[in-house]
Amino acid sequence: MVLIRAESGSTPAWVTVGGALAYVLAMFFGVKRFLPWFERSFQKHGQLTENATALMTLLMLASALATESLGIHLLFGSFLMGAIMPKNPEFIRHVLQKFESVT
């Protein structure tokens, strides 16, 4: 699988590498700090609300779009968003059930 795309008139390699590094750092030190809210919301309500589910989907799509605009395959962005999500087994099971019908 190719993670970096080659296009005519594409951005220089240093911009892609620098942007990817900035993206990963922003995800781990910025976005990851706010993701436990999903788990707290799940524990408070016993399920994810429709708004929380929509926000989770929006974050995943925004992450995919960010990597796609950097010239990196959009699956990397989606994967990284999933990798930094909370790992409570009950929360993961609920999220899998919630998205199973969609996927």
For the chain, the structural domain boundaries read 45-103
Beta strands in the chain (DSSP E): none
* 46-70 confidence digits (pLDDT tens): 998 899 999 999 999 999 999 999 8
Measured CA to CA, the distance from residue 15 to residue 93 in angstroms comes to 38
pTM of the model: 0.81
Mean pLDDT, to the nearest integer, of 87-91? 93
**Does the pLDDT at position 14 exceed 80?**
yes
pLDDT for 101 equals: 80
Tally of helices (H runs) and strands (E runs) in the chain? 5, 0
Percent of the chain whose pLDDT exceeds 70: 89
As a three-state string, the secondary structure of 36-62 is: HHHHHHHHHHCCCCHHHHHHHHHHHHH
What is the pLDDT, as a whole number, of residue 4? 58
Cβ–Cβ contacts within 10 Å for residue 48, how many? 20
